[in-house]
Structure 1
Amino acid sequence: MVITNIHIRKMTNNDYGFMAKWLSTKEVLEFYGDINSPFSIEQVRKKYEPRVRGEILVLPFIVELDGSPIGFMQYYKLQTEELKELGYLNNEVVIGIDQFIGNPNQFNKGYGTIMVCKFIQLIIKITDAEIIIVDPEVSNERAIRCYEKCGFTKVKTINNDCALLMEFINTKI
């Protein structure tokens, strides 16, 4: 089954309500945040408004299915210290991504794979990314399977062996 009605758009100020709801869901917070610290709309605004305005170099996006928001994605270019920490060369263009589906009822339906594959295409189109990385928790088997379906390969464990560094190599450069 091919789902083509998934669209990725830039996050706006109108999306904070969705984010607060999603970031108060234990299934989302299990791997994206702290399960004991749900977000209020004020906390979402404080964290994401500078990103929406472009004041912070982490670019946020909302994923829509049939015009309704279902998830969040963001990307950022790794800086010198982060490159060094992960073992990349200073002149490599490495983009990190983070994402989640906000409603647990939409887990395990293939949406995540489509989201990530479309996001990779978008990043390659609008940046000079040589490598795109993700770092799921090693226990997040669903995410790891999704990333592998999208062409990511496992590199090594990081963060005291709690996370798995995975990379997608842009062969079009």
Structure 2
Amino acid sequence: MAINIRKMNKSDLETFKKWLYKPHVAKWYHEPESWIEEAEKSDSEFNWISHCIVEIKGKPIGFCQYYACEDSDEDWGGYTKLGGTYSIDYMIGETEFLSKGYGKEIVRKLEEKIKYHDDAKRIVVQPEKENKASRGVLLSSGYLLDDEKDIFVKVI
């Protein structure tokens, strides 16, 4: 079943907040207040981040975002200064959609969106070591692990 990724809007905020406090999400999305603040200020202070909702047949099932690393204050182990570096975050909020391959599809769709940016050269992601599911998604999606920096990288 195909997923759709669309721009997050203000009416999605309550669902997003609910997902952040679900145990399977909260263990990886620490400091939910920060994530909520970024989403609430997506039209102003955090307009450099593309906040998105993942849907299946119009039903919101998750959240994802991407941004140019040069717009953030993160160095990404030196990858930011190389230029053309983007990062992604993703999660499935609705438990019945976990472990069905949707994570890999979300990553693929995010890559498609990033490739439209003329400067895009690579994507970097840094899930926690314990997040085996996300790390598995990235490896199966063609990302390579930079062991020294513990950062997954894919040249696009």
Change (3 A) 1:143 1:129: same
Matches of 2:26 and 2:139 in 1, distance apart? Answer: 22
Matches of 1:72 and 1:103 in 2, distance apart? Answer: 10
> Which structure has the larger Rg over C-alpha atoms?
1
Q: State the identity as a percent.
A: 31
Matched, 1:71 2:62: yes
The unaligned stretches of length 5 or more in structure 1 are 159-163
Matches of 2:144 and 2:19 in 1, distance apart? Answer: 28
1:157, distance to aligned residue in structure 2 (A): 5.3
Is the Cα contact below 8 Å between 1:28 and 1:104 reproduced in 2?
Answer: no
Is the Cα contact below 8 Å between 2:66 and 2:86 reproduced in 1?
Answer: yes
SS, match of residue 41 in structure 2: helix
For residues 20-65 of structure 1, the C-alpha deviation after alignment (integer angstroms, 9 at most, x for no partner) is: 110110110111125xxx66xxx83x331211x1532111000001
**Of 45, 50, 57, which aligns to 1:55?**
45
**Of 6, 16, 20, which aligns to 1:19?**
16
Match of 1:130 in 2: 121
Match of 1:161 in 2: none
Match of 2:74 in 1: 82
TM-score by length of 1: 0.79
Residue-pair matches, total = 153
Is the Cα contact below 8 Å between 1:59 and 1:75 reproduced in 2?
Answer: yes
1:104, distance to aligned residue in structure 2 (A): 2.2
Match of 2:103 in 1: 112
TM-score by length of 2: 0.87
Matches of 2:59 and 2:147 in 1, distance apart? Answer: 36
Matches of 1:96 and 1:89 in 2, distance apart? Answer: 10
Matches of 1:71 and 1:31 in 2, distance apart? Answer: 14
1:148, distance to aligned residue in structure 2 (A): 1.2
Is the Cα contact below 8 Å between 2:51 and 2:65 reproduced in 1?
Answer: yes
Match of 2:154 in 1: 168
The unaligned stretches of length 5 or more in structure 2 are none
